[in-house]
Amino acid sequence: MDRHWRIEWDQEQLAWLHFDMAESSVNLLSLETLEVLDSQLQSLQHSAAKGLVILSDKPAGFMAGADVKGFALPSSEEQIKAHLQQVHAILQRLEELPFPTLALIHGFCLGGGLELALACDYRIARDDPATRLGFPEVRLGIFPGYGGTARSFETLAPLDALRLMLSGRNIDARRALHIGLVDRIAAERLERITARHLLKEAPPKQRPKLSQRILNSRPLRLPLAWMVERQTAKRVRKAHYPAPFALIDHWRHAGDQRAQLFEGEAQRVPRLLRSKTAQNLIHVFFLQERLKSLGNDSGFKPQHLHVIGGGVMGGDIAAWCALKGLRVSLQDREAKYLSRALASAHQLFSKRLKSRREVQAAMDRLMPDPKGNGIAHADVIIEAVFEDTRVKQSLFRKLEARARPNALLASNTSSIPLEIIGVAMRRPERLIGLHFFNPVARMQLVEVVHGEQTAAEQISRGASFARRIDKLPVPVKSYPGFLVNRVLMPYLLEAMELLEEGVPGPVIDKAAVD
């Protein structure tokens, strides 16, 4: 049995190629896994197979993409180009097999994994909310380099392909079916039957309609590229994020020429990957991965959150947590604040969720609780009232008596040391800070603040809670400004000094942006 890849044959002479990367929780396209894949494809070329299905044995998903650790290694542009051309050849071998091929996708299918799937004749995605497809490369300062641009423009309408690659965002199975990225969606129990039927039927490959293909022709492509470039420039600066603009230029010059698209990847991606921007973004990626691992060993699985304070921050924290599936009780003495918080939550749910049923389910999880009845049942209690030391001390003294003994007690304070708030508590070691940033729905970081007396277990539980609601926990000491504001303040103070010295405000703003 080969390492990473395993072939299973059925009675219909279909080959089922299972990907199960050794010593990894997810499948990645590393140098080793690609070499083994190439060996398997070479043996299949001369087999009696009537079809090939590529699937994953990992519960997490199909493939998480290329092994990003390799991107951080000091390689020359020539070495990177040679690697891309090697992968082009491997996926070309897959594409040219003398029988139909199919990618059976569940969970994450990202980056290089999606590029491999596009090299198959057909794609079936599991009809499940966990199924996500996308090209996140632009967030690493590059764009797809394993043939993904060429095959995306062949398979999708040009603007759909650009949108997928420029945004870096993932789409679900149903959206993928709608734009033609996958050929079928199927429930888990029907996946294999659907795969067999599709391989047996062997319809023509997915291609965009003529009215969409014509947009790839040079006369229409050039003005479209200009328009997309202008829209992109409104969101990001080329000097800071060159990859989106390089991708648009790549399409502008080679949009309907397959060979030129492959060559363009091999030329442009190495230059981008060697840039300071890409290396910094890759460094940020690894930092994020480290933060995502925090709290994994605590075993804390909160189900019910109680938020005290229905103002902007408290209401937004409550809404976000309800969106992420927690039961949330929101407490405030003023009914007007609860009403505003619920209206704001409904706007968030309507924007983020696809159906009225999902919106209603999220609203049902968010309960106005003016009397604080949820305190006795909550796994996590977050205080988000105004910054008044005596008010917070009194609040936590009462909370300690009413809350469950194992409930996580947290303050969203941005300025009052935990040691001062905890003076009124019998067990100040229970108290942590969970400092969210505004707007909560957009800002990824949550500072998990610990004071001198905070128990280590509580810090870990705070990190687990942050991960449960899809935020990145940053452990920090209870110190003025914590981390983010301590980094920000020198910039703001320097700007104020320059303004006092007579430097015009617009000049200061331009320097900050540049």
Q: Which long-range contacts (CB under 8 A, 24 or more apart) does 287-291 make?
A: 288/472, 291/472, 291/473, 291/474
Task: Sort 181 into a burial class: Cβ within 10 Å, 0-12 / 13-18 / 19+.
Answer: buried
Between the alpha carbon of residue 382 and those of residues 11, 251, 386, 504, the distances in Å are 58, 49, 13, 42
> Which are the contacts of 84, defined by CB distance < 8 A and separation ≥ 6?
145, 146, 265, 266, 269, 270
Distance, in Å, from the CA atom of 222 to the CA atom of 107, rounded to the nearest integer, reads: 36
Which pair of tokens denotes residue 169?
């965002």
- Burial class of residue 271, CB neighbours in 10 A (0-12, 13-18, 19+): middle
Q: What Rg do the C-alpha atoms of the chain give, in angstroms?
A: 26
C-alpha to C-alpha distance for 412 and 435, rounded to whole angstroms: 5
Residue 435 annotated as catalytic: yes
- Do the beta carbons of residue 49 and residue 13 sit within 8 Å? yes
Backbone angles phi, psi at 344, to 5 degrees: -65, -40
Q: Distance between CA 311 and CA 413 in Å, rounded?
A: 13
Report the amino acid identity of residue 383.
E
Residue 246, token pair as written in the block = 């390089």
Catalytic: which of 106, 306, 435, 450?
435
Phi and psi angles of residue 272, each rounded to the nearest 5 degrees, phi first? -65, -45
CB atoms within 10 A of CB 95: 14
Calculate ∠ Cα 113-119-125, nearest 5°: 60
Q: How far apart are CA 64 and CA 81, in angstroms?
A: 22
Residue 352 burial class via C-beta count within 10 angstroms: exposed 0-12, middle 13-18, buried 19 and up: middle
Residue at 285: amino acid letter = F
448 neighbors 432 (Cβ within 8 angstroms): yes
Active site residues: 435
